[in-house]
Structure 1
């Protein structure tokens, strides 16, 4: 069991009534609680959502607070301070005054900083500290009016050769307020990507997806991500750059195994973090399984930190790997799905 869940269980007597667990890990916490607690989960992580549904839990996947009535919420602290601001505001716009809000997180994950954010909504106290985690409680002293999701967007512009894009990104999305270095290294090479039906694996705010769509109006782009906020950001970025809606298909995925097949190309700046922890499963899975989703002569394009030696996996599972660029600490890797 996740250590944060273990700390919640240590204080389970505080939980009463209809309780919403926000951003909870996919473990057996819910099944371990007393039957007097009616539990459900709100998560923006599709992999966690799928795992929770499989266990029989009531799980809501998306960017918005579920349309249900709750007595209490337990927030598992997200990595992003901005995302926690959004979550706390959503909670305060849906719960009645006097409702209980609990916060749990790892010390190295910023739980003490998060507790300071919680204090904006009521008097806050620490209930427990164990397993390198902390558990906090507050009574909601003020409610706030609902704000639309678009009020939380950050915008920045990306200009590369003859293509200019305005990027719109929601809290918690990778590289929310600036173009990250890896994607910046990759962009000049996107003109070499085979046209047709393409996938952007780990789409984030939609920079690569939009660029591919702008390059050729006949391109159809599948934007794939585990994060509901990333998928929503990509949709908004497409809309506000006036790209035809038929060019974009957004799909929540647990990994590359959920991608469509017969793709002409997969392009990715793959993630290698899950929360505050390093996790190479998604990116390594991409290298190992991309071939299954590419058509004959389909292409794989990856940009990754120089120290991540994905070329070995690509050579083993896809085809000959070519280093198209090696600069600013990043490599652009290319392979073709032709028989070898």
Structure 2
């Protein structure tokens, strides 16, 4: 059982009725809460959504507040405070005054800061502190006016060689307000990528996808990510750059979800999941991507210099070329 769920179970007297669990961990919390609680999940993590469905739990995947009637809301705080601001606003703009809202999270994950964010929506009280976590409650003081999605989008412009990219990014998406260093190292080399059907694994705000689309109007880009906020950001980026006809959005649970017979897979692979470091998806990309490529298809990865991805790529492809080694990052290349 996740420690955050254990804290909720210490205070089950407060939890009742039809409850929306937002960003909840995958564990046995709902079973432990018993028949007094009818639970529904809202997640933007496609892998977690698939696990919910496999467990026959009611679950919604996406960035929009699930349209149902709820008695209570429990938010497991996300890493990004901007994303929590979005979630709190979604709750406050859809729920009636007097609705109990619970906030739970780890101390090292910023629960006390998160509680201060929630306090603007009503009087806030700490209910419990245990397992290095805290549980807070507020009663919604009023329903607030909903903001359009555009109010949550950050935009910035990138110049890559002779191409200008206009990027849109929603809260919680990697490198929301600026180009990250790893992608900056990779982008100048992407002129060398084969044309055709290309996958951007871990597409984020769509920087790599957008550049690949601009390089050749015949390219079809499979923008793949586990995160619904990333997928929507990429869609907005393609809309802004008038490239929508080249985009195939692809929610994925991992490398297995990619199509086969691709001409290239390009990635600045993520290795964080919440506040934890998590390498499994990126390591699987190195080891299994060859099966998704045509003969002669290419793998392009940028990664922190200290990671052992070259060794893994060599295991799968029998070779790995270091195209660049700068600013703490390596651009890695292999062909199927």
TM-score with structure 1 setting the length: 0.98
SS across alignment from 2:85: helix
CA deviation vs aligned residue, 1:240-292 (integer Å, no higher than 9, x gap): 0111x221001111111111111000000000000000000110010111011
* Superposition deviation, residue 182 in structure 1: 0.1
Q: Which residue in the other structure is 1:177 paired with? A: 177
Query: Which residue does the alignment assign to 1:164?
Result: 164
Q: CA RMSD in A?
A: 0.7
Match of 1:308 in 2: 307
Please say if residues 290 and 318 of structure 1, whose CA atoms lie closer than 8 Å, have aligned partners that are also in contact: no
Q: What is residue 296 of structure 1 aligned with on the other side?
A: 295
How far residue 236 of structure 1 moved from its aligned partner, in angstroms, is 0.3
Q: Which residue of 2 aligns with 1:88?
A: 88
Per the alignment, residue 18 of structure 1 pairs with 18
- Structure 2: distance between partners of 1:159 and 1:52: 41
Q: Distance in 2 between matches of 1:188 and 1:30?
A: 48
* Secondary structure in structure 2 of the residue aligned to 1:108: coil
Match of 1:124 in 2: 124
Matches within 5 A, 1:4-153: 4-153=4-153
Q: Following TM superposition, by how much is the alpha carbon of 1:166 offset from its aligned partner in structure 2, in angstroms?
A: 0.8
How far apart, CA to CA, are the structure 2 residues paired with 1:148 and 1:232?
14
Asked if 1:189 corresponds to 2:186, the answer is: no
| 1:319–1:336 CA contact under 8 A, matched in 2 | no
Q: In 2, are the aligned partners of 1:99 and 1:140 still within 8 Å (CA)?
A: yes
Gaps of at least 5 residues in structure 1 are none
Shift of 1:318: 2.2
Name the SS of the counterpart of 2:102 in structure 1: strand
Moved over 3 A (4+): none
2:231 is equivalent to residue 231 of structure 1: yes
Does structure 2 conserve the Cα–Cα contact (< 8 Å) formed by 1:30 and 1:57? Answer: no
Instruction: State TM-score, norm by structure 2.
Output: 0.99
Q: Runs of 5+ in structure 2 lacking a partner?
A: none
